[in-house]
Structure 1
């Protein structure tokens, strides 16, 4: 391969990589990838969760699909999307970690919108695994029930944050409760811990979620539990 062919080859290869970069270069598409990291979603459900118009969600999904980042299947008149592979999950987490390291604006946004998070004494995955092994905590998945069924941490109970107050009697008072949701930029767990503490429970939030747990190679359970 002579020099000109090498340049052409490298340019064509980098153009293919750029397809992935272009697909990632929109806040709405990153939000969709983050949600799809929880499990398969219909287009309608993605629109509800993101607060975006259905047509806008469909348009962004087509861009992600063209870059082979998501896959789709049709059930009747509904179309369901999922991440195309585990490497897409890892790509999103790597992008997020890079942004957290390089962009001070992300830290400022977190401290502005979730000012009291430090007071919730977040627990790490390693700390949680130790506590579960010693049976010192009750673990709650406070995401919607369909996300729990798609994949949840072993030993977790499904108790969506919207149902938490009505079901407090199901929880033990003599054990610390750890709540988790979709990850560090989801506030379901913050809301759950705040409510539990206000009702006299010992409670903390898990720093991360199912996506982070799974990409560490840890087992994920499925079904109703």
Structure 2
């Protein structure tokens, strides 16, 4: 006969699968677009063998699923709510762990030395889009952009930024976004564009969080 403890032990399988930073990195990448083991390994700086092992843990916990395409195994998230789960995990850690607060502060320490420009919130970005006062800059790789992005966003991968400045408006504030709250791509874009005289800030979340909130996306 099933007991409450049996249910909790099964639930704990999901928690154990999440208990590894490399697996969280793999989930963040899969929140952008389904992709192969080889690409995931490269993104997370893992060997293909290690990436495969981590993906098997996530698969057994029901967090990812896979299908074969030719000789490759292609992985994807099983459920959009996984993005929400990761967001809640992040929020709890930032609120209750002093070490997390310290690390986040270090990650973006040089973003605005005077504290004058905070990252753009979801509500603020919605208002800016509705009024036409902001231009959206997606600095993720083209493959991720094509799988889904914020409406009317301009895609300029970080590596191509210097060569595609003519795509960016000078008469509006630019809001850069990428894979999520800790993605350094948008941070680097903001730093460089400010040096070049653009009005630019970073969206405090990323494409997956925007989509998980049920907000409009394009592809």
Smaller-chain TM-score bracket: over 0.9
- CA drift at 1:106: 0.9
Q: Does the alignment pair 1:189 with 2:200?
A: no
Equivalences, count: 216
Of 9, 17, 25, 1:15 maps to 9
Q: Which range is displaced more, 156-165 or 104-113?
A: 104-113
- Which of 197, 200, 210 in structure 2 is aligned with 1:200? 197
The two structures have a TM-score, normalised by structure 2, of 0.94
92, 106, 109: which one aligns with 1:98: 92
Partner of 1:66: 60
**1:133 Cα deviation after fit:** 1.0
- Structure-1-length-normalised TM-score: 0.91
Structure with higher Rg: it is 1
Gaps of 5+ in 2: none
Please list every run of 5 or more consecutive structure 1 residues that lacks an aligned counterpart in the other structure: none
1:53 aligns with 2:50: no
Give the whole-Å Cα distance in 2 for the aligned partners of 1:157 and 1:145.
11
One of 160, 176, 188 as aligned partner of 2:173:
176
Aligned position for 2:26 = 32
Distance in 2, matches of 1:18 and 1:176, equals: 45
Computed over aligned residues only, the root mean square deviation of the Cα atoms, in angstroms, reads 1.4
Structure 1 consecutive aligned stretches of length 4 or more whose deviation exceeds 6 Å? none
1:142 Cα deviation after fit: 0.5
